[in-house]
Every structure is written in C-alpha cells, then in structure tokens.
Amino acid sequence: MAENQRWSSRKMFILAVVSSAIGLGNLWRFPYVAYENGGGAFLIPYLIAMFTVGIPLLILETGVGYKTQAGPPMAFKRLLGKWYSVIGWAAVLVAFLIVTYYSVIVAWSFDYLGFSFNLAWGSDPATFFYEDFLQVSDGFFSIGGLNLVVLAGAVLAWIWIYLSIFKGVRSVEKMAWITVVVPWLLIILFVFRGITLPGAMDGLSYYLTPQFEALLDPGVWIAAYGQVFYSMSIGMAIIIAYSRFLGEKSDVVKSTVLIAIADCFTSIFAGIAVFSTLGYLAFTHGVPVTEVVRSGIELAFVTYPAVISALPFLPELFGILFFAMLITLGVGSSFSLVQAVSASLSDYVKTERWCLNAVICAAAFAVSLIYMTDAGILWLDIVDNYVNQFLILLVGFAEALAIGYVYGAPKLREFVNQFSDWKAGRWWDACIWVVVPLFLGSALLFNIVTDLSDPYGDYPLAATLVGWAEVILLPVFAMALTYIYRNHKGVDVEEKASE
C-alpha cells in the first residue's frame, strides 16, 4: 500500500529529522573526531563544512523529496529519468547497511544499562568490554558463536525500533518527542555534572582552544566533511524519505537551516559534557587529556564507565542515565533509517505498512547477527569505516552532480523558495555546482589514495578487501535494482490511474 500520510505540522517534520540527525554520532563520534583532529581547531573546518556542504545538501534532499512526494529511488526517477534512480537505491542500501550495525551499538547500550546497576565493569572497563562482555576473538575471520548477552540487547533494540515505526509517520511523531527531549535533558545534566568535576577545565581547554597548525592537515578537513554527513543524516535516504510527507506550502529552507543548527549545536554542546569528563579522568590518572581515550567506541563503553566509577557519589545512577541517553539517541537514528528504507520500498511494493516494516526489521536483524559474534566489533569497525569514508560521500557527490548539472540547481532552488521565508540565493547554486562536488570529490580521492597506501586499522589484507567489496558491490546492487524496476511507475501512480 502506498504511503499517503503527512506530517501533522512542519514542526513535527523538523523534530523527526532532528531525532534522526541527533544520535550517537553527536555524543561519542563528534567529540572523538574533534579529539583526534586537533581539539578546538576541528570546530573551524566543521562549521565551514556545515555551511558549504551540509546545509546545501540538506536543502537539496529536502527539496527533492518534497517536490516528488516519493522515496529516493522514485524521486530521482521522476526528476531525471529511470536510470537515475540508481542514486536513490544506493542511498537506501546505505541506510539499510548502517542500521544493521548501528542497532548492535544500541544493543550494547541496553546491556550496559543493566551493568550500570552494580558497575559490573569493575576497575578495568577496557578488559571488561573487550574480553568479558564482547569476548573479542583473536582474528577478523575467527567469528566464533553468537554472544547471547548482545543478542538479548539486540532483541530489545529491534522491538523498540519496530514499535517506533509500526504506524508509519504517526508512530514516528510520537517517538520523536522521546528521542529528542529525553537525550537533550540528559546531555544538559551531564554538562553541568562534568564542568563541576576536578580537572574539567583542562579537558575543556583542549576542546575549545584552536590548534591552528592542525588546519594545515588535509585529513582534518576530510574528517570534518565526513562528520557533517554522518551527523546530519545526509546521503542515507532519510531526508528525502521524510520530506515526501511534507504538506503543501512547506518552508523548506528555514526548516533545513533550523535542523542543521540544532544538530551542530547539539554536537558542540555534547562535546562539553564529554571533554569535561575526559579532563576529570586525565586528572585522576595524572596523564594529559590526549592519553585517556583511543577510539570513539571506547569513549562510550570504556572511558565513560571509568569516569562513572570514579564519581564521588551515586555512580550507579549516572551510569543508568548515561546509557539510557545512548539508547534513546541510538533508537531515534535507527528507526529513521528503517523508515527511510520502508518509505522508499512503499513506492514499489503494494503491501500493508506494518508488514513491510516487519520484513525490513527482520532482514536487518538477520544481517546484524555477524556483529554479535566474537569477531563482531572487528566487522563493525571495517564496515563502518568504509561506509563513512566512501559510500556516504559517493551518494552526496552523485546527488550534487545529478541535481546541479542534469536537473538544474536554479530550477530546484526556485521550487524550494516558493513557500520559504528565508530564500536560498545563488550561493546555493554555486555550492551545488562547485563547492560540494569539489570537496566531496577531493575527499573521495584522498580517502582512496590513503587507504591504498596505508590500509585502515591493524587488519589482515582480507579484511581490507571485505571493506572494498562493500564499496564496490553496493553500487552494483543499486544498479541491479534500478534495472529490475526500470519500468515501474510507482504504486501511488498506478493506484491513481486505476481510480
């Protein structure tokens, strides 16, 4: 059955997109990427990336979904012709791939919520996380069996994800209030708690003091543009899929700017909570801030538990609140990814919404089982790296070229400006024509050269080949779906024609 719902208001659309955009990437990925790329210096390229690529592509994707009233594959087909739906299918496959491992991180958070009641990680959170909890194997292909504790957390995660989209837009609207308001209240709590801890100012000083020499490193700029994509849900089918449910005379430009500002502010504000606690941990261990965390995942599941255990009072309560925050952030992003896939497939598959959502959730859960094995975190790390370093950037690059040069950037700009209080000027055309392709093309080339000369992580060659297979096969599958549905007019079009 074709999707015919609409957001109850433009405010609910903004809230739903913010629920998707504000996720684990804001709380642990952004602070860690900033931490790894010069601290306060990273904020400069990040803000530039947001205004030159993030907001222009948000306007593009929102405009495409709103104009066509379709999911990404059908949207590009209607605007540009049947073969251009390959861009939309690529975005849908990226969304599906991400939710398969993102949901496992939510599962870990559910498990750690339970561990928080008695601080089960003890005095050595790193050993607990890798050896006791995940029981990580000694090799990428030493997969072993399923981790039943993680499996139990995943079942809880997927039940919540499914219930969040059970009734489509109506369910998403209700759940978005929980997955936006609750995390924000908890982030505020952790900011106030963090800045009162001894050593907090050392962490904040590292976070907020620009180290301008870092700006000469192209890797810092690449990281900034990658973080903007990851954090703002660009290139993942979500924005186009959600925009199809906008009502008439919606203000596209103002909505996208507000979404971008909310996402950016949340990332920077959450960084205060994270870096103040990193300063405290460095203070208690007598080491520099730069030596207290090694990866983004460790920040959430090793570093923060260590901080929580060291708190002078009610550490169990703060542990429960912290992992409850991770769960709500993760679920908000996860159900938006599933909804993006569902809203796209509903253009091609004539079935009940609850049934289609159930099939998608079941398929994603089945794929996610690989991340629940003894080698699960190793597979998750490889897949996540190649998604963020290549696939998301590739989708955004293709979108900019297709809309900018084939459909025409001025034509889409005129459409989105029709009902917008804030008008997108010719600067937007310039961004879509030049800035976005230039930066994303350069980032892709830089990442390719870097990975070929110095493969990611301390993995065997076969693991690197798995990552490259992911990058190559996803576009191939997108082209296959484009060929299969090349003459499909769309469920809603066919239904209207038959009436």
Is 1 part of any domain? Answer: no
Domain annotation covers residue 3:
no
CB atoms within 10 A of CB 48: 16
125 within a domain of the structure (yes/no): yes
Supply the DSSP string of 36-100, one letter for each residue: HTTBGGGHHHHHHHIIIIIHHHHHHHHHHHHHHTS-HHHHHHHHH-GGGHHHHHHHHHHHHHHHH
Residue 39, phi then psi, degrees to nearest 5: 60, -125
Does residue 494 surpass a pLDDT of 60?
Answer: no
CA–CA distance, 164 with 160 (Å, rounded to integer):
6
Write out the two tokens for 67: 């104009």
Q: Is there a domain that residue 328 lies in?
A: yes
Q: Is residue 427 part of a domain?
A: yes
Structural domain includes residue 4: no
Torsion of CA 250, 256, 261, 266, to 10 degrees: 100
56, 428 contact by CB (below 8 A): yes
What does pTM read for this prediction?
A: 0.92
Task: Tell me, yes or no, whether 472 lies in a domain.
Answer: yes
Give me the CATH number covering residue 75. Answer: 1.20.1740.10
Average pLDDT over residues 284-312: 82
Distance of CA 343 to the CA centre of its chain: 18
Query: How many Å apart are CA 10 and CA 53, to the nearest integer?
Result: 23
Give the number of domains in the chain: 1
Q: How far apart are CA 412 and CA 56, in angstroms?
A: 12
Span 387-428, pLDDT tens digits: 988 999 999 999 999 999 999 999 999 999 998 888 999 999
Residue pLDDT, tens place only, 6-65? 888 888 888 888 888 888 777 777 887 887 787 778 888 999 999 999 999 999 999 999
Residue range(s) defining the domain that contains residue 287: 10-493
174 inside domain:
yes
Amino acid at 54: G
Q: Is the pLDDT at 140 greater than 80, yes or no? A: yes
Give the residue from 215, 293, 249, 161 showing the smallest Cα distance to 48. 215
Residue 4 has pLDDT above 70, yes or no: no
Q: Is 147 helix (H, G, I), strand (E, B) or coil?
A: coil
Residues 431-475: tens digit of each pLDDT: 999 999 999 999 899 899 999 999 988 888 999 999 999 999 999
pLDDT exceeds 80 at position 498: no
Question: What mean pLDDT comes out for the span 315-336?
Answer: 92
Q: Return the pLDDT at 492.
A: 56
- How is residue 110 written in tokens? 């559910």
